[in-house]
Structure 1
Amino acid sequence: MTDTADVVVVGGGAMGSAAAWQLARRGADVVLLERFAPGHTNGASHGASRIFRLSYPDRVHIRLAREAERLWRELEHVTGARLLTVTGGVDHGDHPYLLELAEGLAAGGVAHRWLGPEEAAERWPGIRFATRALYHPDSGRLHADRAVAALQDAARALGAVVRHETPATAIEVLGEDKVRVHTDGGSYTARRVVAAVNAWAAKLLDGLVPLPPLRVTQEQPAHFAALVPEARWPSFGHRFAEGTADAGHFYGGVYGLATPGEGVKVGFHGVGPEVDPDRRDFTPEPAQLAALREYAHQFLPGVDPAAFTPISCTYTTTPDANFVLDRHGPVVVATGFSGHGFKFVPAVGRVLADLAVDGTRPDRRFASAR
């Protein structure tokens, strides 16, 4: 059996679902294929909390985040889902990156201000501040599971077909404007395919498109029981200067945010063990889990470091941490979101729709070959 569509989107996580929504908004005949069941935990789009922020040192990411913020609100409006909660955000530590970040926020017109450690601790008693802190009030959190569901609901409402438990087994390029996507139950012929499979990109796209080296890791944050009400937690980052004892012990720094009903999510960024996404054990690495608990003990008086629930997710990281958003012939690729992509999801969907419809490319930093 062979069906036809204008665009087949492979990968029903956040990015693929956003692409399906944006393509359906333009009137395209879209089929979205997801290999797993709804709400699965095998990739990078599950859970109840992701950080949203405009706080980047460069205008490219700031512009993309602003666009995403507008589209998140639009998605909330059309679906009735509550997705983005503004809590404010704060970065602290002794790493020089904070100065670079403040300069970028000023250049990009993003609201921010420095707080002394005493003022920061008074505002957020769950965090211990040893240095001044950079506050950005427009930051917050996104509900990941609801976001994926809302994107698929919005795509369906515009006519897109969403098929779960339908893995794409191969992509066959038949011409500049023709591609066939194979599944165990048949195939789909289309003008374009959007491959938004992240950790599975190297497996599915081998030989079809050039890709930078992709490092797939199993990241291991945890939810700690909150001693300070969850409503009083910002999203936060703590960066240690390279070469310091804390940097070595705490893998350079941490991120965190409240997850209502689950506690405070705390994790190291991009330092988990490398894995095959089809052969994960979902088990925390003991040394990193011990370091995470020690960090909570030293720097988070607002949590109980002995009361925690480990979490497991994947990062797919490029050498420069920039995403891959590109097109080669009829194949559009989205991967390498490097642990900081979720905030941009609906804007990335717009970029992928542009690539599929008319080949409009985003900033060169997102090219697949660089």
Structure 2
Amino acid sequence: MGTYVVVGAGLVGAATAWQLARRGHEVTVLERRTPANAEGSSHGSARILRYGYADPFYVQMVVDARREWRELERLSGERLVTRTGSLDAGAARDPAALAAVLARVGVEHELLTAAEAAARWPQFRFGDGGGDVLWHPAAGVVDAEAAVEAMLRLARAEGARVETGRPVVSVERVGTGQRVVSSDGRAEQAEKVVVAAGGWLPDLLGDLALPDSLLAAFPPLQVMQENAYHFPYRDVPGEPWPTFIHKDSDTLVYGLPGGRDAALPDGRSGQKVAEFNGGRPIRSAAAQTGAIDPANRERIVAYVRRALPGVVPEPYAETTCLFTNTPTEDFVVDGAGGITVASPCSGHGAKFAPLLGRVIAEEASGERPAPDRFRARAGRAAPPSP
């Protein structure tokens, strides 16, 4: 068994630490602040778990990830995924094509007309132009923060150590191992290192003692400060609203029940609505301001007025979060010389967390290589079609 340092205690870092520790490795997690803190991408209680991808590779990954979530829930004794079902609508979303992919992988779904969908879910308005609406009932919402806490708790039970307030500034080669240095000068030594730094990775990548060839192949990372808004339901829902993704020629909007992220005084939450990659680009997580973009707010409020009659079109809460995008929206799991860099990102990684922890742990330990499309060089290809 080996010794590992995992840099970052968000969803990916926590999942990797758990998967390494349960394999008998000695694991230390270094987190710059606290696990799943609000400066990263894993905070809060509401992330979409959906199967609706145009690429069967990712649909199959969701199927595999769902098995990992069930195991995590069994071991932790917590419900971490709430089933809500999901709706995909809009001509640019191409629900019929998505349905064909779900059929190919064997995921339960229905392809409805806009009128059929509106009759079933009157809280949505699916557009006057008709078109198909895809429904897949196995989708849901991931409680991201609770998942991080559960995975770290399980990792600790296997002997892992979690150190908070330890921002990492460099990884240095020492003999056949690695020396991981924090900003206060403290250092940890291990045979291998996994870096899961999220939006902080652009600032850290050049200080990881990686070969120039890997750094040159690494895809550019675009960190986005995104905006999200919570709208109150007009009526108390008898069951959770479905999550949804709506894509037309102008925008891609998604929504989901907000969970604990913005609870109202009576304990209820509203619907969380956001525009995918509708925020502003920043250099790295260090440059985030937490300021809402007024133009983005205006676009989302206009969308809600037009498309979501089931909510009051006035946000009662709003927040920012980070996406860290690759050009293809594929993840990166690659490394050299005992250092593995993991950037499962682009705004759609949360749903895969426990599976990605397994993939990264197996890659880092040499047990099994990560998929070829997660290699750094693959991330420089042209963006996928919608």
Q: Report the TM range for the smaller structure's normalisation.
A: over 0.9
C-alpha root-mean-square deviation of aligned residues, in Å? 1.6
- Indicate conservation of the 8 Å contact 1:125/1:228, yes or no: no
Report which stretch shifted further, 301-310 or 143-152: 301-310
Deviations 1:187-243 (A, max 9, x none): 111111000001111211216242211000100011111124342410101010x3x
2:281 equivalent in structure 1 = 274
How many residue pairs were aligned?
356
Q: CA deviation at 1:330?
A: 0.8
**Residue in 2 that maps onto 1:317:** 325
Q: Identity over the aligned pairs, expressed in percent?
A: 40
Q: Check conservation: 2:93, 2:246, Cα contact below 8 A.
A: no
**Contact 1:321–1:336 (CA under 8 A) maintained in structure 2:** no
Question: What runs of 5+ residues in structure 1 fail to find an aligned partner?
Answer: none
Deviates more, 1:27-36 or 1:276-285: 276-285
Q: How far is the alpha carbon of 1:304 from its aligned partner?
A: 0.8
- Structure 1 307/316 Cα, relative in aligned 2: closer, same or farther at 3 Å? closer
Query: 1:262: how far off?
Result: 2.5
With normalisation by structure 2, the TM-score equals 0.88
Query: Structure 1's 96 and 48: CA in aligned 2 closer, same or farther, altered over 3 A?
Result: closer
Within 5 Å, which residues of 2 pair with 1:98-113?
Answer: 98-113=95-110
1:1-370 paired onto structure 2 within 5 Å: 6-95=3-92, 97-130=94-127, 131-174=131-174, 177-183=176-182, 184=184, 186-206=186-206, 208=210, 209-210=214-215, 211-230=218-237, 231-240=239-248, 242=249, 247=250, 252-260=251-259, 261-275=268-282, 276-335=284-343, 337-358=345-366, 360-370=368-378
1:59 CA drift (Å): 2.6
Shift of 1:280: 1.5
Alpha-carbon distance in structure 1 between the residues aligned to 2:235 and 2:116: 17
Moved >6 Å (runs of 4+) = none
What amino acid does structure 1 have at the position aligned with 2:17? A
2:18 touches 2:152 (CA, 8 Å); kept in 1?
yes
* 8 Å contact from structure 1 (residues 318, 336) kept in 2: no
- Contact persistence 1:317–1:336 (CA under 8 A): no
Q: Is the 8 A contact 2:52 2:88 kept in 1?
A: no
Q: Tell me the CA shift for residue 349 of structure 1.
A: 0.2
SS of aligned partner of 1:355: helix
Q: TM-score, normalised by structure 1?
A: 0.92
Matched letter for residue 151 of structure 2: L
Distance 1:135 1:70 in 2: 21
SS of 2:368's equivalent? coil
- Give me the whole-angstrom Cα distance separating, in 1, the residues matched to 2:304 and 2:226: 17
1:336 deviates by 5.1
- Out of 134-143 and 230-239, give the one that drifted further: 230-239
Please, which moves more after superposition, 264-273 or 57-66? 57-66
How far apart are residue 253 of structure 1 and its match? 1.7
**What is the Cα deviation at residue 359 of structure 1?**
5.8
In 1, Cα distance between the equivalents of 2:141 and 2:202? 30
Query: What is the alpha-carbon distance in structure 2 between the residues aligned to residue 322 and residue 127 of structure 1?
Result: 31
The answer to whether the 8 Å contact 2:229/2:315 transfers is: no
SS in 1 for 2:287: coil
